[in-house]
Chains A and B, each alone.
Chain A
C-alpha cells in the first residue's frame, strides 16, 4: 500500500495555494528601499554602426540619475558562452564578444544601446526618448543560407565570416554513410524548416540589483531557472565578483521553458549599476521587450535523407542543417543544434550509420538558444516526418515501418551510432498502448463520418526518444561544456523532526516543492507536510546547476535521495545507541526505528531530538546534529520515449485544422506524482501543438520582427488544444538513477509537432491530395489551403 503522500501519489501541488491566492513572491514583487528603475534604449534597426550617442539632453530630464553606455563597461567582460563546439576540422567555433551594452555596432532589433536609470520607470522612459542616437544603418543579414554566401555583410567584423561552426557528427562515419546511400534500394529525402519560436513565459524577465556597502556584497534578484549558474557566469566572467560577495536569488518564477536559463545583459547591468549609483536598480521587461530580448528557440533549416534496403530496413541517415545563432552566442546556444540534436538522430530505430552536418550561423536577429526540448524536438521532427514520408513512398503502413525498425526490448542497452547508449525502453509497448487508446482500429469509420460532413480526417503518428537527466559531467566536458551538470541537495533535519531540504534545482512551474517532499517522506516514512523544500537562493542552497533538460527529478531528485540516505544512515547509528543495539540491526519503517526481531523501537523525532540534545549520545563516535549534503552526477542520460497519436479534421474549404484527439503514451520510467506528470505533458503538448499550428517568429528582410506582439504571434489558447489522453502505464525504469525516473517536462513538446503534421498530410492523402508531400510549420489555414491548391 503506497503512502498517500509518498512516491506514486497524486498529491495536489502545495505551491499552488500561494500562487492561486495571490501570495506568490515573484521578482517583480520585490521592491527595495530607495529602489531606482532602468529603461534600456534598444536598437530599432537590425544592423548599424554607432557613430555617436548624445545623452546630454536626456541627463537633464527630471529624475534621471545616470545614463550608461558601453563606455561605462570597459572593465567588464562580455556575456560568456557556456559551451564551446569544435568544428569538423577540429577547430573551435568562432565566438564573438557579447557586450552588456552595444559597442560600436548594433546587431539586432532590440540590442541594448544605452541604459537610463531614474527615480521612476516613466522618467527613465521619457529620458530615453531624449537620447540623440547617430546610427548609420548597415545592410543586415537575416537569412541563414544567404549569410554564408560570399560577400554577405558580416554580423561581427572581427570574425572571418558569419559561420560559427561547421560541425560533422560522426565525421569518421561520413564515407560509410555515403557508401550506404550508394547501395540503398530506396532513398527518401525531405527538406524542412523548424520554425523559430518565442518562449513567452507568462512572467516576463525581471532583475533587481542591490549593493550593500556594509559587507561589500552584491545581491541580484532575477527570473532565472538556475541562480547558481548566473552567479558563476556573471561573477567570474563579467563583473569579477567572487562568489562569497555575490548572492543570486531566483524566487517564484512564472515559467521559463528554457528562456530563463541564460545569463542576460540586463542581470549584469542591474548588479553593476546598483553599486555605481549606490541604490537598488530594477528592470521589468515589458512583453514587447521580451519579444526582442529573450532568447528565441528552434530556427533550423534541414535536408534529411534516409537510405533503406529492399526489405525496408533503415541503412543510413544523412542530414544537413543550418542553425540560426542570432547575433550573439547565448549561454548554451552552440550545444543545442549539436550535442542535444545530433546525438538523438537515431530516434527509436536501429539505423546503423548516421551522419549529421550542422552549420551554425550568425544573423542580425535575437540570439537563439534552448526552448522546451532544445535540439531534441528538431531531431524528432526530422526523423518522424521522414519515416512517415518513407512509409507513404514505399506504400507501407507507417506503424509497421516503425515497428520493423524499432530497437527491440531485448536489445537494451543499445549503443547508437551517434555516441549515446539507451539504457532501457519498450517502443513496441508504447506504440501498442497509443493505438489502443486512440481506437486506431476504428479510425476508418470516423473518417467516413467526417467525410459526410465535408471534412477530411487524418491520423498522425510519431514516436520520440529524448535524452534527459542532463548530464554526465565528464562526458559533457569532453563535448565542450564549460560547466559540470551534477545536482546537489542538503537535507537538514531539525530537532523536533521536521525537515528542511535545500536543492540546487529550481522550480518555475514543475512542482518540486510537492514531489521532492514526497520522495523524502516516502524514504523516511514521515508526513510530507513536515518537509519543506527550499530552492532558488545561492546563499542557502548548495551549488547546483538548476532546472532544464527534464533533469530535476532524475539528477536533483537523486541528490536528494543520496543526502536522505546519508541522514538515515546516521539516524540509524543514533537509534542503535538509544536502543542499545548494533546499527546493522536497526530497521526504519513508517518513521520508526526498531531493532530487528524485537519490540524495541524509537520514533523519528526521538532520534532527531537526541541528535540536537545529545545528552544520551555516542559523542565519542558521532558528531551531533543531523544534516547531510550530497552531490549526484549521473552516469548516463535518461531516455524517456513515447508514442503520440493525433487525430484531426481538416476543413478543405479553408485549410483550417482542428485537433479532435491527441493521445500521448509515454514511458517516463517510475513516476513520483502522476497528476503533476499529466500536467507537464499537457503543457508540453500545448507548446508542441502551438509550434505545429500557430506559433511563428518571423523577420522581414530588413531584420524587423513582424511577429513582435500577440497581435501577430499566435499562442495556443484553450480551444486550440483539446482532447488530450495521457497515459504513462508503460514503464521501463531508468537503470542508473536511484529513483528509476527519466523526466517528463519536455516530452509533450518533442513528440507532438511531427504527430500533428503527419496527421495533416494523412488527411490530405486520404482525400486524394497526394501531391502534398510536406507543409512547413506552422500549418496555418493559408499554408494548408495553398498546399492543397498548389
Chain B
C-alpha cells in the first residue's frame, strides 16, 4: 500500500470540502477499496472516510419509507431494518461474512456497483431514491453498468430512501469462492406492481427483469414465471458458471424469492 492522507470529517459539508481536492477518494467501509490499495492496484492520495458523519448513520422510518444512512453497516441494517422491511434486512444479513458486515456500508456498496454485489438488487428492486450530497437520483437512473453509476466526480451518497413494499425477498445463489451473488434476485410487491431486480448475472450489472415483473404483477405466484426465461446472451460466463447457467438461475432465484415473499 502506498502512503496516503486520511481525513475523517464529521459533517456532510466538511466531506464535500475534503473531496473537492481531485486526488481525494471517499471511503465508506473499504471492503473493495482497501484490498485494491493493498494490492497496489489503487493509490489515492487522500482518503475521506464517510463513516464519522452522524447524519449518514442509521435506519429510520418515515411513513411508508425506510431511510438508511449511506454509512450504515450491513450488520446494522440487518438488525434495525428487520421489523420495518424484512426483505432488505434479510439481504443485508447475507452479505459477505460477519467481518464484512461489520465494516461494509450500503453507500459504499451501491457507489461501487460491483456486478455481483447484493445491495444494487434491493435498490433497483424497490423504486428507491439515492440521495447524494447534491441531489436525488432515482434507482432506475443510478446504475449504469458494471462499476458505473450516475455519481459525478466527488459526489457521494448520503442516504437511500426505500418505499417499503407489501412483500419482498432476496434469493441469492452463492459464488462458492467469494460468496458474492453468482445470481441474486430481489423481488418487491407494491400496490402499483411488482419489481424484480437481478444481480450477479449480467455483464451490464444489476438489471430489472421486465417480463417477470409483468407476469408477477398480474399474479404474484412463483408459477407465474415458470415459463419465462432471460437470454443467455449478455450474461456473465466465468469459472463459476456459464452464461446459460446464470440465465437459468435468474428464473430459479426469482421463483425462490417470490415463494419466500409470499
Contact = CB atoms under 8 A, between A and B. Distances in A.
Interface of A: 122, 125-126, 129, 288, 653-656, 693-694, 696, 698, 706-707, 710-715, 780-782, 785-786
Contact of A711 (B1, B2, B40, B177): B177
Nearest to A700: B239
Contacts of B13: none
Residue among A653, A696, A710 with the highest chain B CB neighbour number at 10 A: A653
B2 to A, nearest CB: 8
A715 B176 CA distance: 8
A706 B249 CA distance: 23
Given A125-B40, A696-B239, A710 B178 contact: yes
Given A711-B177, A781-B182, 14 more contacts: A122-B1, A125-B40, A654-B249, A655-B245, A696-B239, A706-B239, A707-B177, A710-B178, A713-B177, A780-B176, A781-B245, A782-B241, A782-B245, A785-B248
A654 B241 contact: no
Nearest to B256: A653
12 contacts: A125-B40, A129-B40, A653-B252, A655-B245, A698-B239, A707-B177, A712-B177, A780-B241, A782-B241, A782-B242, A782-B245, A786-B244
Contacts of A711: 177-178
Contacts of A125: 40
A715 B252 CA distance: 26
Contacts of A694: 176-177
B177 A654 contact: no
A430 B252 CA distance: 42
Contacts of B178: 710-712
A711 B177 CA distance: 5
Residue among A122, A655, A713, A714 with the highest chain B CB neighbour number at 10 A: A714
B240 A786 contact: no
A693 to B, nearest CB: 8
B209 interface: no
Contacts of B244: 786
A781 B177 contact: no
B190 interface: no
Contact of A654 (B2, B242, B252): B252
B252 A781 contact: no
A288 B239 contact: no
B102 interface: no
A782 B241 CA distance: 5
A701 to B, nearest CB: 14
B39 interface: yes
Residue among B177, B182, B244, B248 with the highest chain A CB neighbour number at 10 A: B177
Nearest to B255: A653
A725 B98 CA distance: 29
B245 A714 contact: no
Contacts of A715: 177
Contacts of B240: 712, 780, 782
Residue among B240, B242, B244 with the highest chain A CB neighbour number at 10 A: B240
Nearest to B173: A654
Nearest to B242: A782
Nearest to B2: A126
B173 A786 contact: no
A715 B40 CA distance: 25
A720 B54 CA distance: 40
Residue among A126, A129, A655, A785 with the highest chain B CB neighbour number at 10 A: A785
A714 B248 contact: no
B252 A786 contact: no
Contacts of B1: 122
Contact of B245 (A122, A693, A707, A785): A785
A656 B182 CA distance: 12
Residue among B1, B178, B239 with the highest chain A CB neighbour number at 10 A: B239
Contacts of B176: 693-694, 714, 780-781
Nearest to B252: A653
Interface string B177-205: 11000100000000000000000000000
Contacts of A654: 173, 249, 252
Nearest to B178: A711
A288 B35 CA distance: 12
A27 B218 CA distance: 65
A456 B248 CA distance: 19
A362 to B, nearest CB: 24
A260 B88 CA distance: 46
Contacts of B182: 781
Instruction: Give 8 closest A-B pairs by Cβ, nearest first.
Output: A714-B177, A782-B241, A714-B176, A782-B245, A711-B178, A653-B252, A712-B177, A694-B176
A707 B239 contact: yes
A656 B175 CA distance: 11
Residue among B1, B40, B176, B241 with the highest chain A CB neighbour number at 10 A: B176
A653 B226 CA distance: 12
B241 to A, nearest CB: 4
Contacts of B248: 785
A195 to B, nearest CB: 12
Interface string B215-242: 0000000000000000000000001111
Nearest to A712: B177
B72 to A, nearest CB: 25
A58 to B, nearest CB: 15
B239 A712 contact: yes
A628 B176 CA distance: 53
B245 to A, nearest CB: 4
Contacts of A653: 252
A577 B39 CA distance: 70
Given A654-B173, A711-B177, A786 B40 contact: no
A125 B173 CA distance: 38
A629 to B, nearest CB: 48
A292 to B, nearest CB: 13
A706 B173 CA distance: 21
Contacts of A693: 176
Nearest to B1: A122
Interface in B1-54: 1-2, 39-40
A329 to B, nearest CB: 28
A691 to B, nearest CB: 13
A288 B40 CA distance: 12
Contacts of B249: 654
Contacts of B173: 654, 656, 781
A288 B242 CA distance: 26
A172 B163 CA distance: 78
Interface in B76-92: none
Contacts of B39: 288
A125 B248 CA distance: 45
Contacts of B245: 655, 781-782, 785-786
A782 B2 CA distance: 39
A693 B240 CA distance: 12
